[in-house]
Chain A
Amino acid sequence: MTSEPKFHIIRWVIFALVALAIIIPVIVSEKIKLPDTSSRVVKNIYDKIESLPAGSPIILSIDFDPSSDEELRPMTMAILRHVFRKKLRVIGMTIWSPQSSGLMGDIFTTAAKMENKQDGLDYVIMPFKPGGSSVILNLSQDIFFTYPKDYKDKSTKELPVLKGIRTLKDMKYAMCISAGNAVDVWIVYGKEKGKMPLGAGCTAVMATDYYPYLQSGQLVGLMGGIGAAAQYESLIGEKGIATERMKPQTVVHSLIIILIVVGNIVYFTRRRKG
């Protein structure tokens, strides 16, 4: 057998194994029980939100699009449900892309329905504006100038949820949930100008990049990927999608470790044979 078809077959076998590693745990999900995990960096975000009094205004910057929806939606839902239960006033915004606005509307509506919250009274969603750092710098000056109208074309000055708020400095907490470098933009522009506590949620790919900011205190806490979302769900006592997905996640991680080990065994065996 020539090496090229053999290479394709090995690849397809691996793809099939990955698919099975996901399908089987999903089908037998109810029979699998995994212990809860926790980490200090996720708990810091939970503790910060818990410490805020009712009525405190916070900003939630949803900076991801459908390509990262599967990974970041569970985290966003968990955070939103927590802040809604704490009766905090939530300003939803995005600096990522037009697609983030559509997602944000859907997530907020779903969470608001679950926690019985009203648009305009308990939360407001702002439309996407391009410019990234420019949007954040303008927020640090005047929220109403940056967003004269909300996502539903209502004048922001007339919304009860924004009463007594003018700039980023009036925010008691900000959190950026991002699939790209929006967290970096929030740290450099938002945190420096607004001086409010800042938390971050990100895809697991980006998580390792933000540990220097955690250590320096520029970030209160960090949620990286679906694992952090599962931890947060257990903290708020609402085990949902993220917790369920940790079951196939665990199996797939085990599969990949096995593939790495087997690949190395094959490599060293061949090397020894010369």
Chain B
Amino acid sequence: MIKRQLPLLIAFAMGVIFIIQFFIPHQISQDLLTWVNKWLMIIGGISLLLGIYSLLNFHYLQIFRNKPGWGFSLIMFFSFLISVVVGFTPSLINVILPLPESSVQSAEQVKEWYRITGLKDGSSLDWIFRHGITPLSATMFSIIGFFIASAAFRAFRARSLEATLLLLAAVFIMLGQTPLGGMLWSGIPDIMTWILSTPNTAAKRAILFGIAMGSISFSLKIIFGIERAYLGGKN
């Protein structure tokens, strides 16, 4: 009962409460919405740690069991430690060594040095973000640009009427987005606008209806306990 039924009851109760809450403008109802959302934000912050634990656990096992590529897992741990140590050290120092109160000026200088949150512009963690994470992240996703060109040559064939329509639409959009389209023929930007605002809108709207109805039915299945996969486990 407490392992399975009670969580389902909680899901049902919260779901029904918040469906009804939408229609009640009273202040108590609005306060309930505010507080529960605040709690969800806090739980979301704690849940971030879960994902990271799972990543670290995987790499710990790689090293511990001497699996192929364990050297990379070691580098990963080292990188993680750098981020965490750099991020937390200023705060820990601030807690362990209290700020001197001898003069306002020196207290301000010490506070500036220690940087309580470690997140502000110019802090060490911010440096890692700007000069480590940013170039790596930006480059990682830019690689796709090269592969799109390769795919355009090797895979995009006008094999059928549908494929031809797809290619024609793509070509008009690619030309219309840049000044080249307008330079070649003044009608290209207008055709691009029509493609986006008429057939594209129709198709996307239908897909949107489908997704909306799917998400509503999924939400209802969660509330009524039909969908239980999120609980996990056998018992």
Q: Which residues of A contact B (CB under 8 A)?
A: 10-11, 14-15, 17-18, 34-37, 39-40, 65-70, 99, 101-103, 105-106, 109, 127, 129-131, 134-135, 137-138, 141-142, 145-146, 151-153, 204, 208-209, 211-212, 214-215, 225, 227, 246, 249-250, 252-257, 259-260, 262-264, 267
Contacts and interface: CB of A to CB of B under 8 A. Distances in A.
A68 B141 contact: yes
A66 B134 contact: yes
Interface of B: 30, 33-34, 37-38, 40-41, 44-45, 47-48, 116-117, 119-121, 126, 129-130, 133-138, 140-142, 145-146, 148-150, 152-154, 156-158, 167, 170-171, 174-175, 177-180, 182-183, 189, 193, 196-197, 200-201, 204-205, 208
A138 B34 contact: yes
B121 A109 contact: yes
Contacts of A204: 177
A138 B174 contact: no
A11 B179 contact: no
Contacts of A69: 134, 137-138
B130 A138 contact: no
Contact of B152 (A99, A211, A259): A259
A257 B175 CA distance: 9
Contact of A14 (B45, B134, B153, B156): B153
Contacts, number: 161
Given A211-B197, A250-B180, 9 more contacts: A34-B178, A66-B133, A106-B130, A129-B45, A130-B47, A131-B41, A137-B34, A246-B179, A263-B153
B204 A131 contact: no
A215 B197 contact: yes
Given A134-B37, A153-B116, A212-B208, A260 B167 contact: yes
Given A15-B150, A35-B179, A102 B126 contact: yes
* Among all A-B residue pairs, the 9 with the closest Cβ atoms: A130-B44, A66-B137, A131-B41, A134-B37, A67-B141, A212-B205, A66-B134, A259-B153, A250-B178
Contacts of B116: 153
Contact of A264 (B157, B179, B204): B157
A128 to B, nearest CB: 10
B137 A99 contact: yes
Contact of B154 (A37, A227, A263): A263
A39 B182 CA distance: 12
Contacts of A152: 120
A5 to B, nearest CB: 15
Nearest to A7: B154
B213 to A, nearest CB: 14
25 contacts: A10-B150, A14-B146, A14-B153, A15-B150, A35-B182, A37-B179, A39-B189, A65-B137, A66-B135, A67-B137, A99-B137, A102-B119, A105-B120, A106-B121, A134-B44, A135-B37, A138-B34, A138-B37, A138-B41, A141-B37, A208-B196, A215-B201, A215-B205, A227-B177, A256-B152
A201 to B, nearest CB: 15
Contacts of A142: 34
B150 A102 contact: no
Contacts of B136: 66
A197 B93 CA distance: 46
B37 A260 contact: no
B40 A131 contact: yes
Nearest to A266: B153
Contact of B157 (A40, A246, A256, A267): A267
Contact of B177 (A40, A65, A253): A253
A141 B48 contact: no
